Structure 1
Amino acid sequence: MIQKTTPRATAGLRLTALIAVPVLAFSVACSGGDDSSNGAKSHGIADVPDTSAPVPSAKTETKPDTRAKGKSAFYEAQMTYVQCMRAKGGYPDFPDPKLSGHFDWAKINEIGSQPGRNEGIRGGKNRACVDELMAAMDATPKIDQQKAYESMLAHAQCMRDNGISQFANPTMSAGNAQPGGQPNPMSRAFDEESPQYKQARKACESKLLEGLDGMQ
């Protein structure tokens, strides 16, 4: 008599077959076989590629490290200046740089706007930290000069629109953007400590690219 196979039984047979095939393959690989026709043993194991030393992935890890070191050197140069300003420059409350590494000029200008504290806010009193400031500027990542000029030009226009009518435009000299501001630094045309100037400065600070906010 022919015994019918139910669907459940068929599924069980298939599952048994699926389990049996990997087990059989594993057993053959482990036993190494004794195949005299090719004269070699354990070909299955010998053919597995060696992945213990992935050379390409080791190379790709160097670039992020290089970028991280560059950014760290920039940040550390700014911190050296900040620490000088606190210790020798006469500003113990001089703020840390931003996370980007750039000086936080909004906070610096706020300190400089306090009575009697504007002199030396850049470079320290008696120019005690000018060398550190120049080193920090040299370490600053390069900014596209055309974009810098356009940013400072927009800022100058904004300052005039907000009541500082004599705020001068930036200029370009030998391909480098030169900040605007006071038409004649030796004879100030407007008071940088006046409430009107501070309000204009606040209203226009977003016009300057990061890294330019202390230049103009």
Structure 2
Amino acid sequence: MSFLRTYPRATARLRMAALVAVPVLAFSVACGGGDDSVGGATKDDAIADVPDAPAASTASTAKGETEPSTRPTGRSAFYDAQMKFVQCMRAKGGYKDFPDPKLSGYLDWTKISEIGSRPGRNDGIKAGKNNVCVPEMQAAMSVEPERDQQKAYESMLAHAQCMRDNGVSKFTNPTMSGGNAVPGGDPNPGSPSIDPESPSYKQAREACKTKLLDIVDGMQ
């Protein structure tokens, strides 16, 4: 499985695909946003907002690393596996500021994207320097709960519509393929027409972030 990811020009192509992707999903989906020219996709009916689960709080250790300040109630084997990956990223992967997973077990891609977009911080953000945390990454993937593909699709559809409503007119809808939700985004990932670093895209992304469920956060 490929877990490569590029910052900042394709910040959402492979976010969740790096650690918790559905195997059949395409990993090169664009998450565009800067070119706001008219001529985008057809808008669909709005879907209700679906807020993310709250992230676990953090505290600093004596070594300056961050760990959960409390053991969150209701955590799962998936959460525990993701936490082991996070701890690997902090201790071995070269990212002491790598964020805790959300209580749902899924990674916080908003925070990870911000870290990876800093100068010199992209190399290793996927699975640590020299891919040292690949075993922990794969262990987390192996215990990820089964996704509700219909809910995933509806969440991404609501997000795509919101992005267009907020000025990113070319942002395309997700599709269903073989029973799996495939993210939308840039209409031509191979030759992006949307700039995810533009102010207009960032504003739209912020406005629409609550549309994405944890299970699809970072996928478009």
Q: What is aligned with 2:141?
A: 137
Alignment of 1:43-122 (within 5 A): 71-118=75-122, 120-122=124-126
C-alpha RMSD over aligned residues? 2.8
| Structure showing the higher helix proportion among its residues | 1
Equivalent residue number for residue 157 of structure 2 = 153
Post-superposition offset of 1:169: 1.7
* SS class of match (2:214): coil
Gap regions ≥5 residues in structure 1: 1-67
Give the conservation status (yes or no) of the 8 Å contact 1:113–1:193: no
Pick 1 or 2: higher relative contact order, CA cutoff 8 A, min separation 6. 2
Which residue is equivalent to 1:192? 196
The residue matched to 1:211 in structure 2 has which SS? helix
Q: 1:206 aligns with which of 189, 207, 210?
A: 210
* AA partner of residue 197 (structure 2): E
- Say which SS state the counterpart of residue 143 (structure 1) adopts: coil
Show CA shifts across 1:1-26 (max 9, x none): xxxxxxxxxxxxxxxxxxxxxxxxxx
Match of 1:172 in 2: 176
Aligned equivalents of 2:125, 2:172: Cα separation in 1: 22
- CA–CA distance in 2 between the matches of 1:90 and 1:192? 26
After alignment, is 129-138 or 75-84 more displaced? Answer: 129-138
Shift of 1:179: 1.5
**Runs of at least 4 residues of structure 1 off by over 6 A?**
none
Which residue type is aligned with residue 176 of structure 2?
A: M
Larger-Rg structure? 1
Instruction: Map Cα deviations across residues 149-195 of structure 1 (whole Å, 9 max, x no partner).
Output: 01101101111222222222211111011112233333322222333
What TM-score, normalized by structure 1, do the two folds share?
Answer: 0.58
Secondary structure of 2:146's match? coil
* CA shift for structure 1 position 101: 2.1
Amino acid at match of 1:177: A
**Distance of 2:138 and 2:196 partners within structure 1:** 23
* Distance in structure 2 (CA, Å) of the matches to 1:125 and 1:192: 25
Distance 1:194 1:116 in 2: 20
Partners of 2:84 and 2:91 lie apart in 1 by 11
- In structure 2, the gaps of 5 or more residues are 1-71
- Give yes or no for contact 1:120–1:127 (8 Å, CA) kept in 2: yes
Partner of 2:31: none
Q: Give the equivalent residue in structure 1 for 2:35.
A: none
Q: For the residues of structure 2 that align with 1:163 and 1:128, how far apart are their CA atoms?
A: 40
- Rounded Cα–Cα distance in structure 1 between residues aligned with 2:92 and 2:191: 29
